[in-house]
Structure 1
Amino acid sequence: MAIDQDTVLKVAHLARLHVSAEQSQALAGRLSDILNMVDELQQAEVDNITPLAHPLDVSQPLREDLVQPADLRDRVLPLAPASEGNCFLVPRVIE
């Protein structure tokens, strides 16, 4: 697929980019080369190829999932700037 200078200028206008006539000519050539490379890749035979999530055969080491107590109030409450009983005191936001 070939891209001409007018197409580059239209896309540059839509993208709100300032592209001069000389730049648009060079961009048209480079974009055409990129699209030709993509066309070549599309022709590759990949019917018997298994899709990969990663090019290397690696596994993620995971830590053991342990149940831990969720109530941390006894350890965190003494660290609060202000507390009363088993509650954290915060500044009033609504008057």
Structure 2
Amino acid sequence: MSDITAEQVAHLANLARIALTDDEVTSLTKELGQIMHAVEQVSEVATPDVAATSHPIPMQNVFRDDVVGETLTPAEAVAGAPEHDGSRFKVSAILGEEQ
């Protein structure tokens, strides 16, 4: 097991421009040591014959087939519009002079 020292923690904090008190360095030294120990345990288990996984359950495509269905005619589409010219919606200009 590789141990991390208080000097290494202080050096890393200095590189990250983080000001740490002596108590924080002591606390972080212990915590980072525990993290490194946990990573070492996982590394022991992760052998070449163990397949890497990104998801714990298999993923599948949830999209349905694209099927052409019934659509509206242009007249039906504009039927409820406040203004239209028969086949297109009419809208007020939003740029320039008011009409």
Common fold, TM-score beyond 0.5?
A: yes
What is residue 78 of structure 1 aligned with on the other side? 89
Q: Matches of 1:16 and 1:80 in 2, distance apart?
A: 56
- Specify the structure having the higher radius of gyration (Cα): 2
User: In structure 2, how many angstroms separate the alpha carbons of the residues matched to 1:51 and 1:35?
Assistant: 20
Task: Give the percent of matched residue pairs that are identical in Structure 1 and Structure 2.
Answer: 21
Query: Shift in Å at residue 28 of structure 1?
Result: 0.6
Q: After the TM superposition, which segments of 4 or more aligned residues of structure 1 sit over 6 Å from their partners?
A: none
Q: Which has the higher contact order (CA 8 A, sep 6+)?
A: 1
Q: How does 1:1-95 map to 2 (within 5 A)?
A: 1-65=2-66, 78=89, 80-82=91-93, 90-91=95-96
Structure 1: which 5+ residue stretches go unaligned? 68-74, 83-88
Once residues 22 and 42 of structure 2 are traced to their aligned partners in structure 1, the CA distance between those partners, rounded to angstroms, is 30
Separation in structure 2 between the aligned mates of residue 53 and residue 22 of structure 1, nearest angstrom: 37
Give the letter for the 2:48 counterpart. Answer: D
Give the count of matched residue pairs. 79
Unaligned runs of 5+ in 2: 69-77, 79-87
Q: Say which structure is richer in strand.
A: 1
